[in-house]
Amino acid sequence: MWDFSTDAAFQERLDWAAGFVRTEIEPLDVLFPGNAEPYDRDSEVFREVVRPLQRQVREQGLWAAHLPPSLGGMGMGQVNLGLLNEILGRSSWAPMVFGTQAPDSGNAEILAHYATEEQRKEYLEPLLDGRIVSTFAMTEPTGGADPGGFTCRAVRDGEEWVIDGEKWFASNYPHAAFVIAMVVTDPDVPVHKGASMILVPAGTPGMEMVRGTGMAGEPLGEGVHAYLRFTGCRVPAANLLGEPGSGFRIAQTRLGGGRLHHAMRSVGQCRRALEMMTERIASRRTRGGPLSDQQAVRHQLADTWVQIEQFRLQVLHAAWQTDRAAGTGDPADARRARLHVSGVKVATPKVLVDVAYRALHLHGALGVSNELPLAKMWNSGPTLGVADGPTEAHQDVIARLLLKDATAADDQLFGSAHLPTRLAAARAKYADRLKETAVTW
């Protein structure tokens, strides 16, 4: 049975979260609009404002909802997580307050699945408690999104790993207590079988930040996305996560769900832009009448609503496919879920760019100014187009999965939909019942 309703008890929690985000968290976006503030655990803002808000979230049972109950989470499926993330997407501070901020949420999932008891105690417990933040270092300056170009390597030397190489755009490194780094541990096999994940504590000799990179509009040198360099960086052999060569399998633990969460947070941003657009149209006058009298304007509003609804259902359906695959354990269901998640990843930046642009354009000069959040929202679309793998990589995943079960037509010249061929076959099929046919060519 198809059912698009939400469980009544969970809807009450969602309603609480929606009101809480609007009244208590969205004001922080105005007070502290930078990208670094939510991650600075030593700041007065975190101690005096964020910590009390986090306690309220814990009291509602919504803290770190993506994790299993054994780790203090709710053990939500991806559909319910999607509905919650739609609300959190309205505010850049909300994920931090709810304990679901990236990259910490994905790193916590990795540690929950692959860390030893000692590693969990040292890294996972303070991360889940919100006392520290972390960094995930996978991308490299030369390799970019192509793992085949990765050159950052770790060599075993007795009871230590020695890391040499570089990593690019390692988010939140200036505030992080540790880094999870993807490194090549066996260069003699394909990288998908020869890469591993290693924990590197902050302050480890040989790990340095070449510079911090910011997002567009931020001053040079003040960004929190680090360009890292490892030079003879030694860490204990026990800092390896999982088995040697399992790095890419481990990475998928964090990336699949993260793509869905980014997408539903984008839905939340789009809904906020739609609210601003609707308010603008209802408030402004032009050429002697209300802006709402302009048919072109009404059509833009309608197109925006339709696009958001279509995308929202696409994301929730992908989340449902992911939950279903987790429940059945069937590899075919897992492939289907991967297809849908990649489809969501491809759609996310375009939807966000389209919606933000329409809202920005209808606000005129005010829309492109720094007095509204629309220009920043618009710029986040291209950012999501390269985060967690570029759009083109996921287009290729979709095409490969679709072609995996494709079969060539018997008639490779004209194909199976060729009307003259189909007509001849249809006539032959019903020849004993139809003496004449009105269909002629």
User: Which CATH number does the domain housing residue 380 bear?
Assistant: 1.20.140.10
Residue 177: closest CA among 151, 214, 207:
207
Roughly what angle, to the nearest 10 degrees, separates helices 78-88 and 295-328? 140
Mean pLDDT of the chain: 91
pLDDT at residue 133 tops 70: yes
Summarize the chain as % helix, strand, coil (round to 5).
Answer: 55, 15, 30
Size (the chain), residues: 441
* pLDDT tens-digit readout, 388-431: 778 998 999 999 999 998 999 999 999 999 999 999 999 999 98
Confidence grade of residue 437 (pLDDT, cut at 50, 70, 90) = low
Distance CA 301, CA 290 (A): 15
Residues 390, 272 within the same domain:
yes
Both tokens assigned to 260: 């869905």
Distance CA 362, CA 365 (A): 9
- Between 365 and 252, the higher pLDDT residue: 365
Q: Which of 70, 80, 69 is nearest to 7 (CA)?
A: 80
- Residue 108 belongs to a domain: no
Number of domains in the chain: 4
**Residue where a domain terminates, one of 202, 220, 245:** 245
% of the chain with per-residue pLDDT over 90: 70
Strands (E), 128-287: 133-137, 153-157, 160-171, 176-184, 195-201, 207-213, 225-236, 240-241, 285-286
Enumerate helices (H) and strands (E) in the chain, giving the number of each.
17, 10
Check whether residue 349 and residue 424 sit in a common domain: no
258 and 388 in a single domain? The answer is yes
For residue 432, what pLDDT is reported?
Answer: 85
Same domain, 266 and 359: yes
* Residue 121 domain flag: no
**Alpha carbons 422 and 429: distance in angstroms, whole number:** 10
**pLDDT, position 286:** 86
Q: What is the CATH number of the domain that holds 49?
A: 1.10.540.10
Determine phi and psi for 144, rounding to 5 degrees.
55, -125
The answer to whether position 325 is within a domain reads yes
Say if 127 falls within a structural domain: no
Question: Do residues 186 and 222 share a domain?
Answer: yes
281 and 390 both lie in a single domain: yes
Helix (H, G, I), strand (E, B) or coil at 109: helix
CA–CA separation, 438 and 56 (whole Å): 74
Query: Which domain covers residue 197, as residue numbers?
Result: 133-245
Cβ(373)–Cβ(273) under 8 Å?
Answer: no
pLDDT for 439 equals 55
253 and 375 fall within a common domain: yes
> What would the mean pLDDT of 15-28 be, rounded to a whole number?
96
Q: Domain for residue 139, yes or no?
A: yes
The dihedral sign for the CA sequence 367, 368, 371, 375: positive
Domain end, chosen from 245, 278, 293, is at 245
Residue 115 lies in a domain: no
- What is the predicted pLDDT for the residue at 440? 56
Domain boundary residue, one of 191, 226, 245: 245
| The pLDDT of residue 34 is above 70 | no
Look up residue 221 and give its amino acid: G
Are 39 and 28 members of one domain? yes
Pairing between strand 133-137 and 176-184? parallel
pLDDT at 109 over 60: yes
In this structure, the answer to whether residues 57 and 187 fall within a common structural domain is: no
In a domain, 305, yes or no: yes
The CA distance from 54 to 63, in Å, is 8
* Residues 265, 171 share a domain: no
Which amino acid, 342?
Answer: S
Average pLDDT over residues 49-73: 87
Residue 122 within a domain: no
- Phi and psi dihedrals of 64, rounded to 5? 50, 50
Quick one: angle between helices 78-88 and 247-283, nearest 10? 50
**Whether 380 and 279 share a structural domain:** yes
Sign of torsion, CA 263 265 268 270? negative
Q: What is the CA radius of gyration of the chain?
A: 25
pLDDT in tens, 294-319: 999 999 999 999 999 999 999 999 99
Distance CA 328, CA 343 (A): 21
Structure tokens at 140: 């490299």
Bridge partners, 153 (sequence order)? 164, 184
Say yes or no: 433 and 295 in one domain: no
